[in-house]
Amino acid sequence: MEHKVKDLRSALELLQTMPGQLVETHREVDPHAELAGVYRYVGAGGTVQRPTQEGPAMLFHTIKGHPGAKVAIGVLASRKRVAALLGSRPEDLGKLLYHSVEKPIPPVTVQGEAPCQQVVHRAKDPDFDLYKLVPAPTNTPDDAGPYITLGMCYATHPETGAHDVTIHRLCIQGKDELSIFFTPGARHIGAMAEAAERLGKPLPISISIGVDPAIEIGSCFEPPTTPLGYDELSVAGALRGEPVELCPCVTISERAIANAEYVIEGEVLPHVRVKEDQNSHTGYAMPEFPGYTGPASDQCWLIKVKAVTHRRDLIMQTCIGPSEEHVSMAGIPTEASIYHKPQTIEEMVYHLAAKLVEPFGIAAKEYRRWNGM
């Protein structure tokens, strides 16, 4: 019987049926530098010398300081796993994503109790503390702090009403504060935060952690393939053939992914910037996907957290760099974007070919024949 993947839990269940694709351990592991260190050798993924290698995903069942929580890592650190999780063949992933962008299925809002809100912690509660609530790993001793590396940030443009999901570097800065790094001009939610700041308003934002892998892959598209105003949750909907379900947040005017493991609700504050390593003073941020540990930014925006909600028997999901996980998340959407371009570039090449050397013209004609044109 076909195994339907709809969230992180069903994704892990599928990997359990695939020999060599998931390693589980019940031995206690410290999220501060130890968890990533173990995965470095078992998963052959992050914080290792290039070239990175494929290895199994890991599920840590016992996290020091976080009773009852688990941490999954490396879920997408293999093209074979990504293909299985998306119901495709490895060689077809680029085309699959391209066609999903072409035929998006927008998300829908559902009412009633969402799985991600089975347990609710509000920032006004006296014992509220992000450090204790979220088992975010500190991947190396030089990291600025505990990082949320697979948080699906969802927000709405304050002027246009367009909404979108993207992944950003998030570091815990205090019991109710997160820093968020916006690469200038590269992400839609950065533009939304800038618009809200011009209006002198905070930007409500939800951060969903531990979701359907289709959402994680789809969220990594960038302009011009998915311009500002295009909600990448629609790509995930197309990949699954049904809309992603969102639920209203409990403390802010925004929505979150209903079947996420965790959701952090908050507001991006206008006119506030913080230094990423203001607590650790290491001078560094975290291991990045290009293969280096980048410097701590002094221009991170600040999120004031209003609540953390989560499922029972919760599972944190994380990734570390450099790793094959980044190759999957950044590379496969890029393949889809490149696959799209020749549909127009090829026409230009073909018409120019007759004016150039004959061998080039033959090549263009053969390319058309290969594409059934």
CB 40 within 8 A of CB 54: no
CB 139 within 8 A of CB 30: no
Q: Residues 6 or more apart from 276 whose CB is under 8 A from it? A: 144, 145, 171, 179, 181, 285, 296, 297, 298, 300
Paired with 119 in beta bridges are: 310
Single out the residue of 256, 266, 244 nearest to residue 209, CA to CA: 256
Q: CA 255, CA 265: separation in Å to the nearest integer?
A: 9
CB 333 within 8 A of CB 97: yes
Cα-Cα-Cα-Cα dihedral sign, residues 299, 193, 125, 31: negative
Measured in degrees and rounded to the nearest 5, phi and psi for residue 35 equal: -60, -50
Q: CA 93, CA 243: separation in Å to the nearest integer?
A: 20
- Count Cβ atoms below 10 Å from residue 331 Cβ, excluding itself: 16
Between strands 108-109 and 245-248, the pairing is parallel
Q: What is the b/e burial string over 90-125, where b = at least 16 CB atoms within 10 angstroms of the residue's CB?
A: eeebbebbbebbeebbebeeeeeebbbbeeebebee
Q: Which residues are catalytic?
A: 288
3-state helix, strand, coil in the chain (%, to 5): 30, 25, 45
Single out the residue of 204, 137, 134, 120 nearest to residue 176, CA to CA: 134
Q: CA 206, CA 169: separation in Å to the nearest integer?
A: 14
